[in-house]
Each structure stands twice: as C-alpha cells, then as structure tokens.
Amino acid sequence: MLTTGEARDAILAAMPDFPATTTTLGESSGRILREVIRAERDQPPFDRVMMDGIALHYADFAGGRRDFPVQAMQAAGDTALALKPGQCIEIMTGAAMPQNADCVIPVERVAIADGIASIEDGYDAKSGQFVHPRASDHEAGARLLTPGKRISPLDVAIIASSGMTEVEVSRVPAIRVISTGNELVPAGEPIEPHQIRLSNGPAIQAMLGERGYTDCDHDHLADDLDELRERIADHLDHADVLILSGGVSMGKADFVPTVLAELGVDVVFHKVSQRPGKPMWFGVGPDRQVVFALPGNPVSALVCCRHYVIPALDAASAAAPRPPEFAALAGDIRFEPDLTCFQPVRLVSNSAGQVLAMPVKTNTSGDFAALSVTDGYVELDKEKNHFPAGTAVFLHRWQAS
C-alpha cells in the first residue's frame, strides 16, 4: 500500500499540463496566470497631488510669503498648468502637480477670499510635501506579477492598471464529478427512510469552484455495471478529469475499479495508508484523462479531494507551489493504526501569536456535519502514534487562499 507521500507523487507524475489560453480581464480572477505582467507606465505616471489644496513654489513660502493670488484651478485629469512666480494654483487630489510648483498646502490650512489664498498663521510647510513623485512606486516595464500566481481581485487591479483587457491564463480543465450509489437521492427529490441524501457531488463541485475550476458537471449513477460502463465511457470522452465518489471499497456493489479497468483506465494505485480515505483509487485513461475514485464516506471524500485532487489540478495548471503550512497541536492526540491520520481541526490563536490546531472529533467518517466548524485538517505522521500538545504538524486548510 502506498504512503500518502507516494500517492501524491504518483498523481503528480501522471498529471497532464493544462495549456495556456486567453481570458478577459473581467473573467481573470481565480485563474492561474501564465504570463509576466509588466507596468505599462511609471507609477504614478506624473508627480501626483495627494491633497486638495493649493500648489505653490516652496521658495516663495520659505521667503516669508503667506498670501498668494490664485492663478487658476486645476482638477484631477487636467493638463498640468505652469505656475507663475509668487502665485498659487488651486489643486485637487489626483491632479498632476503644476509645472514649477513643488509644495502642496492642504485646503484645511488655507482661507481663500477675493482671489487670494492666505495660509494659516504658524503653519510650517516643507518642500515637496503632499506630492507623490513620478515612478516612486515603480517604473514603466517593472515586473508586477509572475506566472503561476492565482489571480486575486488585487491582481485584477494591477492587470487593469497595466492597460490589458486580456490576459494569458491556464485553461480550465473539463471535470466530471460522478457520485455512485443506489441509496443516494439528490436534494429536491422525495426521499425514503432507507435512503441517503447525495452530498459529496455538490461539495466537491463547490470546493473546486472556489479555486476557479468551474467547468465541472455532476452525474449520479446507480451501482449497476451497465449504467456505470455506459456513463463513465461517455464522461471519459468529454472530460480531462473524472472525480468519482463511492463504490471503491470491497463491497459486493463496489464496481468502480472493475468498470474503470474495462474502459482502459490504467490503475496507478488502489488504497493509501491513511485514515480517512484508505480505499482511494487513482488511474489514467486511454487519452491521458486522470481518474480519481474517492471513497464515498463524506469525510473521506472531502479530505481526499482537498489532499490529492486540488493540488494535482493546481500543478497541472502550472500554479506556483505554495510553501507548507504548520500549526501546533492544541492538545495531545493518540492514533494507534499504522496509517497517516488526517485529523480535522479548528484553528485558534494564543496570546504568543501562535496558531493552534484544536482536534475536532468526527463521530465516523460519515460525520460531515462536524466538519462545518473546522478550518482544515492536520496530517499526523504514520510512523508515530502519540502527538503531544505543542507538536508542529502540517496543516491543510479547506478554503482556497
């Protein structure tokens, strides 16, 4: 049986490279950037006024002048005027500094009457004050964003300020999420006492959607060999990635591995030394489709999706790898089986600024309701069975960051 690390490596080795494509600025948030974004112009592109007020020549102020005839008014977006000696120009935040001016006096310090701006008694100005000098943030051509970054709303501002209406990103793969099980009934349909609500499919779609994997249809299949054969064959024809849940254990109706083999999907591994999620199956289809078959138990399915599927999709999308995250255990944990334990946790911080992981007990691997108060799970090494409070362990968060 593979260890969790071996399973991850085997998946990454089998993943294709999703090609680059072009998207619009408005659609770019959440996608993986595939090009360098450089500054179109100096930032700011001109000496930018930072306050509403008057602009003047500092030497006039230093020479003792406090009353300045108002030569003109210049708003943001106006061409910079040329300031005459001994005078001032009324200016607005965001305006280009008038030529010859080198000092801004805020409007609160100035009284204007009969075309004369008088500066408050005792006000001390400095040369260059309230001016954001041209190129002081960065120069034209500066590298602002690097390929591999997931585009955030803040990055959208950078791309827009670079004057780009389109940007190169990784193509979103076509994903099919397939829930198997006769007992499953989707929300909105009448349900009998012996049946189970189908929850993995929508949860997996949501987890993927949050990370920009939005081309993600869902299908529900019965534990029936013919139906599984026919529908999975169709999904293999139309998708880059299949994510199945259920039907991979040792039960009489667990047909998924058999059907996948019949359809030419080569098994890379079946079973990983972990809890939850031990029966997980992974393979590669005839056209290099990747097939994740996750156990049906909701906690197992969600942990396996977060731990294996998401990092694999990110790697195939050329996302820059993220540094591992650690947390200190808030309490002792004992875990006897010779398996890696994925323990759901809630995060709290202490007054020393440490992030602590509080284990949250799930009743069974089907107890998904308990997960709602958790922020993620910690990964507890297979080689040990006692983890004292304070031990630093790998933390994996549910939410995209």
Task: Name every residue whose Cβ is closer than 8 Å to that of residue 229 and which is 6 or more positions away in sequence.
Answer: 259, 262, 263
If one asks whether residue 70 binds ligand AMP (CB under 6 A), the answer comes out as no
If one asks whether residue 246 binds Mg ion (CB under 5 A), the answer comes out as yes
| CA–CA distances in Å: residue 386 to residues 358, 382, 395 | 15, 10, 17
Q: What's the CA gap between 214 and 204, in Å, rounded?
A: 11
- How buried is 112 (Cβ within 10 angstroms: 0-12 exposed, 13-18 middle, 19+ buried)? middle
Per CB under 6 A, the segment of 50-58, 156-164, 197-205, 331-339 that binds ligand AMP is 197-205
Place of tokens 């069974």: 364
- How buried is 259 (Cβ within 10 angstroms: 0-12 exposed, 13-18 middle, 19+ buried)? buried
Q: Which of 247, 276, 277, 283 binds ligand AMP (CB under 6 A)?
A: 247
Per CB under 5 A, the segment of 120-128, 173-181, 281-289, 357-365 that binds Mg ion is 173-181
If one asks whether residue 251 binds ligand AMP (CB under 6 A), the answer comes out as yes
Q: What's the CA gap between 16 and 13, in Å, rounded?
A: 8
Q: Report residue 293 as tokens.
A: 């078959």
Q: Report the residue number, 201 or 247, with the smaller CB distance to Mg ion.
A: 247
Positions in 345-374 near ligand AMP (CB under 6 A):
366
Report the 10 Å Cβ neighbour count for 176.
23
Per CB under 5 A, the segment of 8-16, 78-86, 235-243, 290-298 that binds Mg ion is 290-298
Q: Which of 296, 311, 344, 359 binds ligand AMP (CB under 6 A)?
A: 296
- CA 171 vs. chain centroid, Å, equals 16
Q: Which of 30, 181, 295, 298 binds Mg ion (CB under 5 A)?
A: 181
Q: Which residues pair with 333 in a beta bridge?
A: 387
If one asks whether residue 259 binds ligand AMP (CB under 6 A), the answer comes out as no
Q: Report residue 308 as tokens.
A: 């294996």
User: How do strand 67-74 and strand 116-119 relate by DSSP bridges?
Assistant: antiparallel
DSSP letter (8 states) at residue 366: T
Q: Report the residue number, 150 or 235, with the smaller CB distance to Mg ion.
A: 235
Q: Report the residue number, 101 or 301, with the smaller CB distance to Mg ion.
A: 301
If one asks whether residue 204 binds ligand AMP (CB under 6 A), the answer comes out as no
# chain residues binding ligand AMP, by CB under 6 A: 19
Cα Rg of the chain, angstroms: 30
If one asks whether residue 298 binds ligand AMP (CB under 6 A), the answer comes out as yes
Q: Which residues pair with 274 in a beta bridge?
A: 340
Per CB under 6 A, the segment of 61-69, 247-255, 259-267, 312-320 that binds ligand AMP is 247-255
Listed in order, strand segments (DSSP E) in 253-294 are 266-270, 274-275, 281-284, 290-294
Select from ligand AMP, Mg ion, none the partner in contact with residue 179, using the beta carbon and a kind-dependent cut-off of 5 to 8 Å.
ligand AMP
Q: Which of 43, 274, 297, 374 binds ligand AMP (CB under 6 A)?
A: 297
If one asks whether residue 181 binds ligand AMP (CB under 6 A), the answer comes out as yes
If one asks whether residue 170 binds ligand AMP (CB under 6 A), the answer comes out as no
If one asks whether residue 198 binds ligand AMP (CB under 6 A), the answer comes out as yes
**Site residues for ligand AMP per CB under 6 A:** 179, 181, 183-184, 196, 198-201, 245-247, 249, 251, 295-298, 366
**Site residues for Mg ion per CB under 5 A:** 181, 246-247, 296
